Structure 1
């Protein structure tokens, strides 16, 4: 069963009553069947086919495409000599693949349980696995052949980039599943002869389980070990606006990704304020300065003293000024409210989270971030900026926009676009560093709105954009399972019952699919949802005023000037 839809002017709708040609291709790209289907009122169609006996195995394709002979279609317009649909649409054929293989349906599956404990080198590790039938019963007294392979990694130049070096099998053996279908693989997480304190090792455990009927399935897992037992991390928004509810998230995991609580401490450091200058240098940095930096700043107050302020993350290694310290336990509190930053000044900061693992290794995580103090009248380092003021523009019918600037008065050309079409333009005069603008929204507008502003100041042009989300109210369909079983008995009919409740009461058609999950042993299939895409949305700008430089040469002097 498939769905046939179209997209016109951004709106998606189904296509009913249209004939399509369906072609079945074998792995050699040979057509093995072709037939015609017609979409129903919901835009869907269904069909069935039988594969030829003794066919080849491999990936088969199902294609849905335009019919070959449109003139025999009842909808063909003979007067206009065209088909009202097919001759007026840019059609992308639909296709899906499926596998045809010779196989014996598996009766059971094998798996390993995750290792929850901290693992260090030279420590005994016990990895537990199990064999379980798809019918739900345990596979007891099955033969288990296992092996453990060590994979060595090296940390080069202390850049936290690990490169795989060697693989060595360190143990192999044989055991049996117990009455509950479980088994255990024990080994020592031994390092290699090139062991260093920063080394991390992965131990790949493989087990082949064979039941009393001779059916065999494999399970694999990887356990990591090193000279430390924990990894810690901190996450904070890149830009913290003090008026918003912000959080610092602290995490602590063992090397195998399992959460482990740890006592630690985090510190907040102030690194430096924002540079108030926003205008890039017009000329290159001179080899010999003729005026001092103080005179340059006085004469050109908005122009940066350097061509670029890119500092190669110097802030990461800058100590800064300690402004806050707190002890934490990640088992009791992972998300730290940042309300204590309410009165912090704008600028660049960093958070350092440190802790100690079971082996007394000192661990540390550093994150850089910026604070924008909402009480300040404007954003430092920008000529002008936008900030959305209302939470629900769709309900209000407009976007309320605060426009701020670090200079007393500028003129801003505002524009707003949806689906790359401008629906609002206005020039505003910003006096006193801030003004409020209401941008009315067209009726039935939904999706992202892009708001842009252009300013000409001090012989240069500046542009800023803000993307505002206008959520679309969607008709919800509630699907409830009233009766459902995931275990089937051979030869016994089974039925499932679902309740479908559209929010608007409209007639609804449901596409439901099922498959035997045991076939995942051979190939996993993705079951993607319906995706209709969306048009690219950008600000439809007119050609802005531009500023450049001119070059000339003085002949005979061998010099060029700009």
Structure 2
């Protein structure tokens, strides 16, 4: 294997606390020593290195202009082809800063500032051969939280050791070409907000710098607008996009697949998109529309009028010898664009497929005796093959497979958000996608083949969706497939559980609505239910891997703290309640039995705030999963949001309400690790 060495870091640069030893890890293979160089980097150079044209500096072996402030070599010895990992302190051999620097905040730490560290070896001097060999090290005593929106940037500055806000310190914002775009000072809460007249190109990296690295003892920190690893919207299950689009455009054709010579019927709908507020654009009268084939040839262009409803449409007939593959439809619409004073053309795309497919000579239908059955019943399916011109396909080979998937009941259409399932995503158990049965046979003289299998749920805790697929092969070896789904219900009815509030307070009663419905979601009256309230206790411990890295492992146990009975009335409605004794997470399980003896269960969860410390689940990320007291809100209501904080004792917290813009920002005290904050639901949301 080749000789190689690289820093074990997630990216080209990182922030390191000035209150701990400045250490970096490196990996190596087939080298005798690691040679290191440490450079001091000016603020102007740093902004240049991370900017749009920074790649030009990184083309040089040493992308900074200064001489190294420290050089040293570390001998290493590993067997041939065996990889090694080593911990490398960046301060001097004596445990402090190099003599050219001032006193650090902590022995073993570099003073606050910006540095470049480079690693080579006698056997391999090539830059970035197997990984990052040049790393920007930002040693900071102040943490910066940087939030960006279309026309604003928000900075929150806190001390890395105490967590207190850094008030009254200078903040400078730079764009990706090193230009200063805003400056000011943090307020008493450590906040600084910059507003911009024009939209900001969020694809470009902007930076926030607080203080100056040369000022010993003063606050210093850096943050970039694209630092979002592990804390992006999608990490919280939130759909988001980072680019600004003035319009929202939806394309559709009457079908996704065409043959050469067929006519494509197309329609598009355009709306102005002002942070999820949609309207017809009164100034948009036409769009430039084009179609590109699979060989990237333009096969259609037109200027299409936009009607009063914001729609445009056209028909396009494919050539009889049209190329096969995906065709791209493009609409060009002028719109407001960052960095441009005049509207620029924006491109919106969709596709359809052109394929020269062979039409089958026969068709296959797969028909169940019943589309829905009760567990314990028998599923009967008829496979029938018939020619399009008439007649049955007898003696054809049939291969079939039955697969089970979890079925989550969703047919209730009444008021409220009910959980009709007993799904616990933290408990290992049988899931979907398992093959239940398979077999082979032949169609009879009528072109039919019968499949019979038991509707057994076995150890599965909920209803299932059985998918039965049949592949029929005729005498010419042509295969035609079809499938059908049969729902296997766990019982004759479903139970729904809906907390009145998902967030409660220890010692205060919490109410739950119950509902029993039939398979179609209609009320089923007078059902007797058992309700058990479980307290879920999380046990999270830190462990070390072979390289000394610390990580969390979590497990839980459920303890029944209250048991009661309930009944639904003539409308299939019921209520139950309990008083949580302590804070934490609770699982509420309602169960019943039908006239066949089938057990039916449904569960929901609530979270309870307390003055005492609550041991929430600890994960290996920097995320706090907020819990809202309701699924949906109306204007004028107030959302109560529980904050399951990992910190013990009182802390300060930045609370923002945001979508495409930062609607509100405030710093508050969290007195416990289960505080509930209130967010008014206002018309501007």
TM range (shorter): 0.3 to 0.5
